[in-house]
């Protein structure tokens, strides 16, 4: 068994295990875990210094997940934009291929909180192959993003098969992998995996660091190993209340990422997902933080601050030309000029 597989096997997956290590009410968390599953790798668990700290908030269930009255499970309308159960085709030239239904650690703010890790939402090999066949039938598709769930939980052999099948499609120019493995399961970024990815260029990896304490020596080694394999690595951070909603924290994070040859790519405003309201910030707060960063960091270290508009309308950068009005109901302008009402509240 490889070290990363051992980490998975030893992951914390029940409130009782959490209560054996921290002073928590396991019974109160059972109701949350019945709806939204729990899993934390030993590596990530060891980063928690105390209950309620930025690492804790990202991975430990909270009763507020059940109290959030946000009406949408799927605010980005991925289900409506899915020609197949595991294919999301929102943009003409790009396809999101969901190749996994589980993660090494379940983030409490996940966009696909409604399904990832939940029973009945597993992704079969047949569905993955059907998704690849769909891409092959769509000559407009130039870019395929592998996501899930965590794509890197599959074996190298299966990943190789998927990547090679995609690479044989003439119109697929770029393959991307969205992964949080460098953060929560850095042992997965092996020399063998990097050799496999090196053979599939042009291939890009987007990872997901949210706090400078996640930049551990093990995570650094994983990122540098990918970079040494010629894999461009970008980072997508989510702006999370009580985790990283301060300019100083994000400044430290983005500086640290550049040292690891990871490009800060997106700073995401929280999606309007049910069960995540306690993480939400106001748009004004994000814009203020973003403005402060512009005075402290070089452009290379500053990501795009974006919001993914509800209803599958797409991402927009939060810059003045897309922000027409703020307040409790912000008015934002989509790329096609459509004006979209965006709830700008922190309900919890």
Active site residues: 90-91, 94, 103, 107, 110, 112, 271, 308, 315
Tell me the C-alpha distance between 145 and 95, whole Å.
6
Quote the CA–CA distance of 237 and 208 in Å, as a whole number: 6
Using an 8 Å Cβ cutoff, are 6 and 146 in contact? no
d(CA 90, CA 230): 29
Task: State residue 57 phi and psi, 5-degree precision.
Answer: -60, -30
| Distance between CA atoms of residues 339 and 171, nearest Å | 34
Quote the CA–CA distance of 212 and 192 in Å, as a whole number.
Answer: 27
Number of continuous H segments (helices) and E segments (strands) in the chain: 13, 12
Give the DSSP H or E segment for 125: helix 125-136
Greatest alpha-carbon pair distance for the chain in Å reads 56
Do residues 280 and 239 lie in contact, with contact meaning Cβ atoms separated by under 8 Å?
A: no
Q: Six-digit token pair at 274? A: 């049910």
The one-character DSSP state at 344 is -
Q: What order do you get walking across the sheet with 329-333 strand by strand?
A: 323-325, 329-333, 339-343
Contacts of 208 (CB under 8 A, 6+ apart): 178, 179, 180, 183, 235, 236, 237, 238
Partners of 98 in the β-ladder: 147
């Amino acid at each position: 068994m490889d070290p990363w597989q051992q980490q998975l096997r030893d992951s914390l997956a029940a409130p009782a295990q959490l209560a054996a290590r921290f002073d928590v009410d396991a019974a109160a968390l059972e109701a949350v875990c019945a709806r939204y599953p729990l899993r934390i790798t030993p590596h990530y668990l060891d980063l928690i210094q105390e209950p309620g700290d930025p690492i804790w908030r990202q991975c430990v269930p909270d009763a507020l997940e059940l109290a959030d009255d946000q009406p949408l499970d799927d605010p980005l309308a991925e289900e409506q934009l899915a020609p197949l159960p595991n294919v999301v085709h929102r943009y003409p030239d790009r396809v999101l291929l969901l190749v996994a239904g589980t993660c090494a650690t379940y983030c409490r703010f996940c966009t696909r909180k409604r399904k990832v890790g939940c029973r009945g939402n597993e992704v079969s090999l047949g569905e993955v192959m059907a998704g690849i066949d769909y891409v092959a039938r769509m000559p407009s598709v130039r870019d395929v993003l592998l996501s899930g769930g965590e794509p890197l939980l599959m074996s190298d052999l299966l990943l190789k098969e998927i990547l090679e099948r995609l690479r044989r499609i003439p119109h697929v120019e770029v393959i991307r992998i969205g992964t949080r493995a460098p953060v929560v399961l850095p042992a997965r970024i092996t020399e063998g995996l990097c050799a496999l990815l090196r053979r599939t260029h042009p291939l890009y990896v987007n990872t997901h660091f949210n706090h400078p304490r996640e930049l551990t020596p093990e995570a650094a080694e994983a990122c540098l190993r990918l970079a040494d394999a010629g894999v461009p690595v970008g980072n997508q951070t989510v702006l999370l209340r009580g985790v990283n909603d301060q300019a100083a924290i994000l400044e430290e994070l983005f500086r640290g990422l550049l040292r690891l040859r990871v490009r800060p790519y997106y700073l995401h405003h929280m999606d309007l997902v049910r069960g995540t309201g306690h993480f939400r910030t106001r748009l004004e707060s994000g814009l203020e933080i973003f403005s402060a960063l512009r005075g402290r960091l070089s452009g290379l270290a500053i990501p795009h601050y974006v919001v993914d508009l509800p209803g599958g309308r797409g991402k927009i950068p939060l810059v003045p030309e897309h922000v027409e009005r703020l307040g409790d109901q912000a008015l934002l302008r989509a790329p096609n000029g459509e004006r979209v009402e965006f709830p700008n509240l922190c309900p919890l």
